[in-house]
Structure 1
Amino acid sequence: MKKLYVFVIMLLMGCSGNPVPKPRGFFRIDLPEKKYTSYDDATCPYRFDIPDYAIVLPDTNRFAEPCWKYVLYPKFRAQLYITYKNLHNDLAAFAEDSRDLVYKHTIKANAIDETVIHTPNKVYGMMYDIGGNAASNFQFYATDSVRHFIRGSLYFNAAPEADSLKPVVDFIKKDVKHLIQTLQWKN
């Protein structure tokens, strides 16, 4: 009987306080230090820098052409698809195709910001920063406007949740911008 009284008193005292909400917790993403090395495939007419934590592989898709590449980010389950085309007075068509592919993401995107590319290495083009839960968060095209055209698009092997992916997207975007700044044409 004495135990019952103690139990009832403890029960009543335990229920008197206000509930304390638990803070939302997120996984911590450890981002590696940025160190770059030059990527130069002798069979392709371009070279650029990639981070040490990325791997470049040839595109094995049956429609792929020889200088199409994947820049894989294994730690982040991400890949940058790079396609290369020789220009034959088709710059306007290639640029418009790139723009069309970007704007197919408007269904899920809440914003698409365009930034002009112009580097000292005679690289010109456009970067597209795609906001929201779009499948691709960042795309670009780069050209010398005479012979070479490269298009890149960043994808993740994960559901496109912008809030969750934002730290990694921002981190990889810096790598892609560095790739563009170091892109050189081999004529």
Structure 2
Amino acid sequence: MRAIIVFAAVLLLAACAQQGSTPKPRGYFRIDLPEKKYQVFNEPGYPYTFEYPVYAQIVKDTLFFDEKAENPWWINIDIPQFNGKIYLSYKDIKGENSLDRLVNDAFKLTYKHTLKAESIEEEDINTENNVHGLFYEVAGNAASAKQFFVSDSTRHFLRGALYFYAPPNADSLAPLHSFLEADMWHLVKTLKWKAN
């Protein structure tokens, strides 16, 4: 009887060993990225023009924290298939909006992300269209991983920030950050100021 129990136990253990499962690594959904193509934003009355992706839409920003936007030239580049948005806020350099103040405000807004950021890297922006500023890459689980500000140093100031309507997970959003960073750089390189 003992031999039968031992044989059954060995047989049971052997059967369980053969059915063992291998844990699968954690993964993220595949993201299909569209082909890079651009269109021109050149609306009358706006003090700037630039190129933006054909898979995005320009939406006029009428509210800023539930209050009326400071001026009529604030827009958002909505990217619905990625549930993301590039917020563009424009300001004239005049009066209390000195260049120093606007640059300091942009710096403060970017560095508010230091609580979640692993690092913040800055890259100079200088184009032949008199567009100068900084591009920020915020590493880690920050709410906005890509930001920039640009100016002509005398009249125009534009700030951009990329946000997704999703929890800020640097690993899962990495392909989108990389893909849309190229679009943000294209916007900056094609940006031109208009005389009003």
Taking structure 2 as the reference length, what is the TM-score of the superposition? 0.87
String of CA shifts for 1:114-153, please: whole Å, max 9, x gaps: 1110001110001111011111111110101111000111
**45-54 vs 24-33, greater mean Cα deviation:** 24-33
What are the within-5 Å matches in structure 2 for residues 67-86 of structure 1? Answer: 67-86=73-92
- Report the equivalent of 1:58: 60
> 1:34 deviation in Å?
0.4
Identity percentage of aligned residues: 46
What is the deviation of 1:88?
1.6
Residue aligning to 1:31: 33
Q: TM-score, normalised by structure 1?
A: 0.91
The range that moved more, 78-87 or 54-63, is: 54-63
Aligned to 1:4: none
Question: 2: distance between equivalents of 1:25 and 1:98?
Answer: 35
Partner of 1:170: 178
Q: How far off its partner does 1:14 sit? A: 2.0
Partner residue in 2 for 1:16: 17
Distance 1:154 1:19 in 2: 41
Superposed CA deviations along residues 52-97 of structure 1, whole A, max 9, x for unmatched, are: 0000010020331200001000000000100011112711110011
The answer to whether structure 1 residue 112 and structure 2 residue 120 are counterparts is yes
CA distance in 1 between counterparts of 2:86 and 2:187 reads 11
> Any unmatched runs of 5+ in structure 2?
1-7
How far 1:21 sits from its partner (Å)? 2.6
Aligned length: 182
**2:89 aligns to what SS in structure 1?**
strand
Displacement of 1:103 after TM fit?
Answer: 0.5
Gaps of 5+ in 1: 1-6
Mean CA deviation greater in 12-21 or 155-164: 12-21
> For residues 85 and 16 of structure 1, what CA distance do their matches in structure 2 show?
68
Q: Hey, what does 1:139 align to over in structure 2?
A: 147
